[in-house]
Structure 1
Amino acid sequence: MIISCGIAFWRGRSDERMAASAIIFAALLSPVAKASGFASPETGILGIDMALLVFLIVLALRSDRFWPLWAAGFQVVGCTIHLATFVEVDIWPPAYMAAQSFWAWPVLTALLAGTWLEARFRTR
């Protein structure tokens, strides 16, 4: 996260910087919102992840770049994992935590790739 968001602040334009800020904000709030240690649906983290999803969707709709679509798509999967725990309540907590946190990596990768491509395109 430090590398992706750092490069977004260093080389990115407003879309990349806003996304990096939102991702950092969500990452800082998530441990505070954790209630059950992933033993049951984490509604606080779900709220934070849904807010990030809405932000990424709005960013994707107004941006002239393609990477926010990918970031929003990956964030949808992360939110869906939260919603699945309401249906299947006997999910093993480490599996829930790993599956949910895994999808932060593709969101960060989309931000990093988008920043790199934007910076590369600007220098031409």
Structure 2
Amino acid sequence: MAPFQLFYLVLSLLIFAVAWMRGGHTERAGVAIFVFAFLASFVAQVITLNGFRLGEALVDLVFFFALAWLAVRRDRWWTLAAAAFSGVTMIAHVLVFTTPELDMAHIRMDVASRWGIGVLVVLCLAAGVLERWMAGEAPVSASARWRRTEPRVT
């Protein structure tokens, strides 16, 4: 595993944990979308078309639409920024797909650019949690019941 890939993975996991514990419903939905996309990309990475990572492109397309849907349905700014960065990832996929003679150098550049953009998308989630904390909004986990409540005997 490349050092930047390890950094990306550790950063993502830390931000996901913080967003789940300190975020609201929008941030939790974002974490679920991110985790689903990460897991789906591992499964789909074997689907290729003449060297083009078609499976990953399809996962990123679904990820983009999920973030765009979240941005339209919720009132958090970070969802719009994350969807915009995800759209830039789709542009990178299109550029690689339309490259006439795809070689390993192009594939490496594509993967490196998508990793960099991916870090920006994850940082959007972190910025959303930070903004929530700075605004004094309570996290969802503060109101969650972690234990079963015993039924009242009357």
Is the CA contact 2:47–2:55 (under 8 Å) kept in the aligned structure 1? no
Structure 2 Cα separation of the partners of residues 108 and 40 of structure 1: 27
Cα deviation digits, residues 49-100 of structure 1 (max 9, x gap): 1111101101111111111110000000111111111111425222121112
Percent identical pairs in the alignment equals 26
Q: 1:90 pairs with 102, 109, 116, which one?
A: 102
Structure 2 Cα separation of the partners of residues 36 and 20 of structure 1: 25
Q: Which one has the bigger helix percentage?
A: 1
- How many angstroms does 1:120 deviate by? 2.4
Tell me if 1:108 matches 2:122: yes
State the 4+ residue runs in structure 1 displaced beyond 4 angstroms.
36-39
Name structure 2 gaps, 5 residues minimum.
Answer: 1-11, 139-154
Larger Rg: 2
Name structure 1 gaps, 5 residues minimum.
Answer: none
Structure 1 Cα separation of the partners of residues 15 and 48 of structure 2: 27
- How many angstroms does 1:7 deviate by? 0.9
Between 86-95 and 110-119, the greater mean CA deviation after superposition? 86-95
C-alpha RMSD over aligned residues = 1.9
Matches within 5 A, 1:73-88: 73-88=84-99
Structure 2 Cα separation of the partners of residues 112 and 38 of structure 1: 34
Query: Could you state the TM-score of these two structures normalised by the residue count of structure 1?
Result: 0.90
Matches within 5 A, 1:12-91: 12-35=23-46, 40-88=51-99, 89-90=101-102
Q: Tell me the equivalent position of 1:11.
A: 22
Query: Could you state the TM-score of these two structures normalised by the residue count of structure 2?
Result: 0.73
Q: Tell me the equivalent position of 1:120.
A: 134
Structure 2 Cα separation of the partners of residues 36 and 60 of structure 1: 29
